[in-house]
Structure 1
Amino acid sequence: MKLNLLRFAIVAILLAVVNTAPCSSQNSNQFPTKLPATAQAIVDKHFAGKSVVLVTQEMEFVRRYYVVVFSDGTKIKFDSRGIWDEIDCHRSPVPEALIPRPILDFVKKHYPGVFVTEIDRETRGYDVELSNGIDIEFNKNFQVREIDT
């Protein structure tokens, strides 16, 4: 019984290591072929000046997703089709072209001089963090649900 548990633990550890191994080389935007073309296009177009340090393919329950990490700490999570789920640029602005227009317009109107540093696409809408620390939740129709200051 103990030997079977030990074998199971070793296999689980090996699978975890293989599943999270880096998939791209440092200082380049070269991606493995398994990264969806849509995700590659977003990175190439909107993050061209940034250096990719890690690309991982992971599973969350039965859903596959990809995570791209850049040398400046920017992190993008893509679904299996290559559509972004989360973009976290820390203290830098998320590229405006990736922010839905109604959200961008709301931020520019109500928070001039402030920019979006993080955006998460969720089942019920979007969660946005601004450079001044304010967190705004939008529903699917881009109406504000909550503002945390």
Structure 2
Amino acid sequence: MKNAKKITGVLMIMFLLISGFIAAQDRAINPNQLPKNVKNFLAFHFKGIPVASAIEDREIYGIDEYKVYLSNGMKMEFDSSGNWKEVDGKHQKLPYGFIPVSIKNYSTRNFPNTYIIKVEKKRWSYKAELSNGLELEFDRNGNFKKIDD
């Protein structure tokens, strides 16, 4: 009976230690610590908008992603190499310079009185949210697939 309790106690401690190592650890960083391509992306597409905060999301195997919050409320996510994954304008118009031209052209041609407020790049597709609430889905080449409302 005592050995069973000891074994259970040891297993519980091991479980807690392992789960602590596996859990994601977000850490606030200085914007100067962001990867060079993130800093270049921000300087080029969001010039003059200060970074309010930057978060480094660490996993056991290294950095998973970076989250950047601008002073105007916009939020961005970048992969561990500093490539953009998602840009959320929080209902503000996004600059179109980093959005694939075919997505920009499709949205402005078919929805002339709207603008893109959020864009997400996935492995095989893109998603763009318009100011009227519609979500447009595109394949990885920027070809229109469907509308979600």
Fold shared by both chains (TM-score > 0.5): yes
**Aligned residue identity for 2:40:** A
Deviation of 1:8 after TM superposition, in Å, equals 3.1
Q: In structure 1, what is the equivalent of residue 36 of structure 2? A: 37
Structure 2 contact 116–129 (Cα < 8 Å) conserved: yes
Q: In structure 2, what is the equivalent of residue 12 of structure 1? A: 20
Deviation of 1:74 after TM superposition, in Å, equals 0.7
Please state whether the residue corresponding to 1:127 is helix, strand or coil.
strand
**Aligned residue identity for 1:126:** Y
Give the TM-score taking structure 1 as reference length: 0.79
**Aligned residue identity for 2:41:** I
Q: Does 1:135 align with 2:135?
A: yes
> Percent identity over the alignment?
26
Q: In structure 2, what is the equivalent of residue 27 of structure 1? A: none
Give the TM-score taking structure 2 as reference length: 0.79
Task: Please list, as runs of the form range in 1=range in 2, the aligned pairs for 1:86-101 lying within 5 A after superposition.
Answer: 86-101=86-101
**CA-to-aligned-CA distance 1:74-131 (integer Å, 9 cap, x gap):** 1111112211010001111111101100000001100112110000001121000001
Cα distance 1:60–1:100, how it changes in 2: closer, same or farther (>3 A)? farther
Cα distance 1:59–1:6, how it changes in 2: closer, same or farther (>3 A)? closer
Please, which runs of 5 or more residues in structure 1 have no aligned partner?
A: 25-29
Q: Does 1:51 align with 2:50?
A: yes
Q: CA RMSD in A?
A: 2.6
Specify the structure having the higher radius of gyration (Cα): 2
Deviation of 1:49 after TM superposition, in Å, equals 2.3
